[in-house]
Structure 1
Amino acid sequence: MIALMTTTSNSAFPKNFVWGVATSAFQIEGASEADGKGPSIWDDFCRIPGAIQDASDGRVACDHYHRWAADLDLIAGLGVDAYRFSVSWPRVQPLGSGAFNEKGFEFYERLVDGMLARGLKPYLTLNHWDLPSALQATGGWENRDTVQRFVDYACEVARRLGDRVVSICTHNEPWVVAVLGNQIGNFAPGIKSRAVSLQVAHHLLLSHGRALTALRDQGCKSELGIVLNLAPTHAATDSEADQAKARLDDGTGLRWYLDPLLKGEYPADVLAHLGADAPKVLPGDLALIKVPLDFLGINYYMRSVSSAGEPWDVKSSGREITDMGWEVYPQGLTELLLRLHHDYTMPPIYITENGAAFQDEVVDGRVHDLRRQTYIANHIEAVAEAMRQGVRVNGYFVWSLLDNFEWASGYAKRFGIVRVDYDTQERTLKDSALWYRAFLSEQKRKGM
């Protein structure tokens, strides 16, 4: 039985609460070689046989590069306040250093100005995983020099767009870049080394801190922060072994990123566990990482369940499972927000991604995606519950606006509240989009 929340206690959401939708450059833009764009590590990864589930790539994706105006019209028609998007680093600086690409910047100038003309607040992400290939050739994020390259890039983007964007996020989900990209290797660049992964994580955090300092020094007025994928970690059983594993997994997944950002230190228990694989941290690095945040973005999809023995079987929970094989667990978002509220001195929070992949069917021109609609509604209610208990949350963004290139899954998984026919590029509002539009209209009516 799917419980559908049709109304939310709107008193939890103040009038200035930001409602939005989110995408990322590589997943939707296409035009992978247009107008001087350089290759990214994801362009390279897509060429590895077997790397992408359906053997696809991002060369066309949703063709947003050419269809941006119509897509912005679609976003504005949903009644949202804001659009979270990312800049493709290799589109605006093909080699990740040196000359900038004017045609690439012209695209983002048009995009941002188009948002403003439609009354949409631009929320910009600098790094949503598409590192320029030329930088990976010199070591990628394992190479400390990439930190400076990122700072230079961030400063140029802010110089050109910072007067018009509400918010600038340095990195989206550094855990994914570090662990999936450089330890497990099922994401770009496909490296399998725990030691490399941890050095990558440190350099991502260091580049974040240094970029924020540099942006403030040059007078950037946008809200500045970072986005992490976070989840509560539960032990599969009450056994001592499972409890210990859950504590360690919480350390590597959550505290490894939040502790340096908010406390200026890496968790001692995780450092002890890592031994020789721990990253090289130079004197002063942690002070540079722990710069004040104007906001913390949180991407939430599911809880984490830890087992010291055989991997936990998600089907054993008896709960609904998405097309990604992820358990639907909205109460975990409330739990996470309350835990952060109690354990850290938190900056303002945005839920920068939340959504679900399900198999969709088009029937008479409609997509009846009740499960996605329910997922979004119940997670909004989870945010409301946390706010009623004192957590400050400033906004919520649905992932994703469009069906798109879902990384290693290719086009096999659909997260969008708008369906994309990849043969024709036709966009169709799913029932979840219609529900979200109606929900936001009601929120605004009550807030008058």
Structure 2
Amino acid sequence: MLQAATYAKPKFPDDFCWGVASAAYQIEGSPDADGKGKSIWDTYSHIPGKMKNNDTGDIAIDHYRRYKEDIRLMKEMGVDAYRFSISWPRIFPNGDGMPNPKGLDFYSKLVDELLKAGIKPFATLYHWDLPQALQDKGGWQSRDTAYAFGEYAGYIAENLSDRVNNFFTINEFQNLVDMGHRGIDMVVQGKPVKIELAPGLKLNQKSLNQVAHNAVLAHGMAVQAIRASGKPGTKVGPAEVMFCGVPIIDTPENVKAAEKVTRHLNARFLDVMQTGKYCKSYLEEAGKDAPEFTDEDLKIISSPVDFIGINVYIPKMYVMASDNKAGYEEIPMNVSHPKMSSPWHTFSPEVLYWAARLTDSIWNPKEIYITENGCATSDVVDANGKVFDEDRVMYLRNAMGQLQRATSEGIPVKGNFVWSAFDNLEWTGGYGTRFGLIHVDYETQKRTPKLSAAWFKEAARCNAVV
């Protein structure tokens, strides 16, 4: 009889966080409940034609009312850390001024319920739902929004840091700036498409670069406010989408090329946060369209952080060393490169390793969190009420294997947050794109853990890829 092989299985560090992630507008619903103000997504999603099937987040998965059930499901799945976002207009309906105590109360109860379940709360202060009242005053084009964000961050830290020890300031600077204020061009299934997010503006390059500067300024102000108002030991950092160059072959020359392109791709955001200056290549490329800033701005932007959070899905490009001026050459991705369900999502699990390694080698942070990683699959509930998303299990096994490689080399990755805990509103893609470990029937709101949830539970129990 054949017996199962026995071998020493590598593990993640003992304090590694097995987390899942979500965002307020994508799951909460209840857009007018308990004094909440309107966000730019409440406005944008109701513009005909902006959202697939004209879907909105008005109900989403009704998490605002069902959060206790959702936390129970996360606990059963073996989750020990949950990254959620706080809806700014629930706290400050007008973006600033008088806070809404009922809005704060919801997140206070959410945190208490998480702690009761043994789940560590990680709060994101901004996951794209800007108060509409601030958008009406200029939104991220205005420096005043950065100041308002700092005040909001300080208020949250003052009231929640007795139980929440880790805060992410802003989610995906690159995307909120470029997709929200110009739109980006992509080729999807052979056809060019424009991808945009709320508020759906079409700014020129000069204005776009100023929005980027105001966003990192807001980050710095939030860091300072959390330091001033948070309890001792409160930690803070960004949660940026990592634009990563992956060396096509792992040679010293190609790794150096990948470092160079990765630093340049992240010049407007991670690099200026960590170095306190805009790199020469970015300012030269921007020319007359460079943002206006002061030395004091740069000091604020580079306020020291405790960790860097990176959202990692795909490489920005594969690269190899070159003797051209740039120092690297982009390797075009073959049309036969395997993909997950989302047409933009190439199956490139090695990016988890390289994103962590390059973040470490370029900026040398104290700690790194993978604040998002996951995939959409074509999930179907079968006749027995099961969801066998074996392709997501394949994806997670390979991606987490690459992350385990990183931690085994001493790269300080402290945790991973799978995107996402639940199926939800996938922004302009509506409800047809499912990223969750837990299936949601949007008509009945029934939750069904998928096969991937069972995989996650066993991997978390073993603290290793299984």
Tell me, yes or no, whether TM beats 0.5: yes
Shift of 1:314: 5.6
**1:65–1:256 distance in 2 versus 1, CA, 3 Å:** same
CA spacing shift, 1:80–1:317, aligned 2, 3 Å: same
1:392 aligned residue (389, 398, 412)? 412
The answer on whether the counterparts of 1:262 and 1:345 sit within 8 Å (CA) in structure 2 is: no
The structural deviation recorded for 1:438 is 1.4
- Kept in 1, the 8 Å contact 2:32–2:38? The answer is yes
Contact 1:251 1:270 in 2 (8 A): no
1:350 partnered with 2:369: yes
What is the identity, as a one-letter code, of the residue corresponding to 1:316?
A: V
Contact 1:322 1:328 in 2 (8 A): no
Which of residues 200, 208, 231 is equivalent to 2:243? Answer: 231
Post-superposition offset of 1:198: 1.5
Letter in 2 for 1:296: I
* Residue 127 (structure 1) aligns with: 126
1:18-33 matched pairs, under 5 angstroms: 18-33=17-32
Distance 1:433 1:160 in 2: 33
Q: Is contact 1:8-1:381 (8 Å) kept?
A: no
**Alignment correspondent of 1:336:** 355
Q: Does the alignment pair 1:265 with 2:264?
A: no
Cα-Cα RMSD: 2.6
Asked if 1:136 corresponds to 2:135, the answer is yes
Q: Distance in 2 between matches of 1:152 and 1:220?
A: 16
8 Å CA contact 2:337–2:346 kept in 1: the answer is no
CA distance in 1, matches of 2:313, 2:78: 24
Read off the aligned partner of 1:330 and give its amino acid letter. Answer: P
| Aligned partner letter, 1:132 | P
Query: Does the 8 Å contact 1:323/1:359 carry over to 2?
Result: no
- Could you tell me which runs of 5 or more consecutive residues in structure 1 were left unpaired when the two chains were aligned: 1-5, 237-244
Which residue is equivalent to 1:322? 341
The one-character-per-residue Cα deviations of 1:415-434 (angstroms, maximum 9, x if unpaired) are 00100000000000010011
Amino acid at match of 1:200: V
- Equivalent of 1:191, from 180, 190, 201? 201
The one-letter code of the counterpart of 1:175 is Q
Cα gap change, 1:7/1:426 in structure 2, threshold over 3 Å: closer, same or farther?
Answer: farther
Match of 2:340, SS state, is coil
Please report how far the alpha carbon of residue 440 of structure 1 lies from its aligned counterpart in structure 2 after TM superposition.
Answer: 1.3
Q: Which amino acid aligns with 2:461?
A: S
Moved more, 218-227 or 70-79: 218-227
Q: Does 1:99 align with 2:117?
A: no
CA distance in 2, matches of 1:206, 1:8: 50
SS in 1 for 2:170: strand
The question of 1:362 aligning with 2:381 is answered yes
SS across alignment from 1:257: helix
What are the Cα deviations for residues 256-292 of structure 1, in whole angstroms up to 9, with x where unaligned?
2222111111121121111222111123111111111
Q: Counterpart in 1 of 2:188? A: none
1-structure distance, mates of 2:430, 2:37? 21
Residue aligning to 1:15: 14
2:452 counterpart residue number: 432
Distance 2:418 2:7 in 1: 16
1:316 match: secondary structure: coil
Task: List 4+ stretches of structure 1 deviating above 6 A.
Answer: 6-9, 245-249
Structure 1 range deviating more: 95-104 or 248-257: 248-257
Matches within 5 A, 1:6-405: 11-184=10-183, 186-193=196-203, 194-221=205-232, 222-233=234-245, 250=262, 253-305=265-317, 316-363=335-382, 364-405=384-425
SS in structure 1 at match of 2:57: coil
Asked if 2 retains the 8 angstrom alpha-carbon contact of 1:36 and 1:94, the reply is yes
Q: Could you give the per-residue CA deviations for residues 36-66 of structure 1, whole angstroms, max 9, x where no partner exists?
A: 1111011111122211122110000000000
Partners of 1:98 and 1:121 in 2: CA distance? 30
What is the deviation of 1:250? 4.3
Cα shift at 1:321: 3.3
Cα deviation, 1:73-101, whole Å, max 9, x if unaligned, reads: 01111112111101000011111011111
Partner of 1:241: none
Whole-angstrom distance in 1 between the partners of 2:137 and 2:419? 33
Provide the C-alpha distance between the structure 2 equivalents of 1:52 and 1:9, rounded to a whole number of angstroms: 49
Q: 1:265 to 1:397 in 2, by over 3 A?
A: same
TM-score (norm 2): 0.87
Per-residue deviation at 1:442? 2.3
CA offset at residue 322 of structure 1?
3.0
> Are the equivalent residues in 1 in contact too, given 2:312–2:355 (CA < 8 A)?
no
Q: How many residues align?
A: 431
**Residue 263 and residue 317 in structure 1: after superposition, are their counterparts in 2 closer, same or farther (change >3 A)?**
farther
The amino acid of 2:428's aligned partner reads A
Alignment CA distance shift 1:345-1:202 (3 Å): same
Per-residue deviation, 1:218: 2.5
Q: Aligned-pair distance for 1:196?
A: 2.5
**1:336 shift after superposition:** 2.0
User: Contact conserved, 2:18 with 2:417, CA < 8 A, in 1?
Assistant: yes
Moved more, 340-349 or 133-142: 340-349
CA contact (8 A) 1:27 1:407 kept: yes
Deviation at 1:214, TM superposition (A): 2.0
